Amino acid sequence: MSDEFPTLEVVLLASVAVLAWRGLLIARMRRELDRALPRLLAAVADASAPGGEGSPRFGPALEPLARAALAPRTEASGRAVAERALGAVRRVKSAAARDLVICAVLGGSLVYAFATRLAVSPPFFVLGGLAALLLLLAVKDRLALARSLAAAGTKLADSLAARPSEPPPNAARRCRKCGEPLPDSLGPEELGARLRELGTRELFVCRRCGRIEGQAALIGSAPR
């Protein structure tokens, strides 16, 4: 029995532990993507969904796409989501290709060590084979994640295209009853003290039919 410290075996053991942990993270990322995508699609369809710092989290895989999808609506929203999805897919596929190259190098090293009867212990081949297997599984999981990201980008882009566009900022607000363009909201002086106490934010009065539309903050304080 050799008294030399099994350096190669220790390095391979550490590599196997890291690869196993990384594989779990990739699998978890895929599961989070599958669970979060329906919520993100619902948020995109909801015109009032937040898109800033207070927006909900959708996991590391979907977060870049979510920021683009929940940004203020513009004509480029769908294109921005598609571009981010394409960039994410490229990065994931690049990582898969890197793992495949490392696996090929490791496999070649194992074959060389066996063919030349290199002075290594049997655990070296066991750990090396396990590391190669974990690398192949990582390639498989990364490619599956890339397909999921591509599908998510397509669904988000389609959802953005189907979502009704916002009116221009200077578009006239119209009465819901007769369709007449509404004048500007009444100012603080015109609202009166009682309406200001209710936290009235805006109040519109149609000049044609007299319909009143508005919004108040303190709903519970409204008289009954």
pLDDT value for 76: 47
pLDDT digits (tens, 9 = 90+) for 62-96: 888 888 777 766 544 677 888 888 999 999 999 99
Burial class (CB in 10 A: 0-12, 13-18, 19+), 37: buried
Low-confidence ranges of the chain (pLDDT < 70): 1-6, 47-56, 72-77, 163-180, 182-203, 210, 212-224
Per-domain boundaries in the chain: 7-162, 168-224
With a pLDDT cut of 70, the percent of the chain lying above it is 65
Angstrom CA distances, 152 to 41, 63, 84, stand at 9, 12, 11
pLDDT digits (tens, 9 = 90+) for 24-42: 999 999 998 988 888 888 8
Return the CATH number of the domain spanning residue range 168-224: 2.20.25
H helix runs in 116-179, sequence order: 122-162
pLDDT value for 102: 94
Tokens (6 digits) for 172: 């006239």
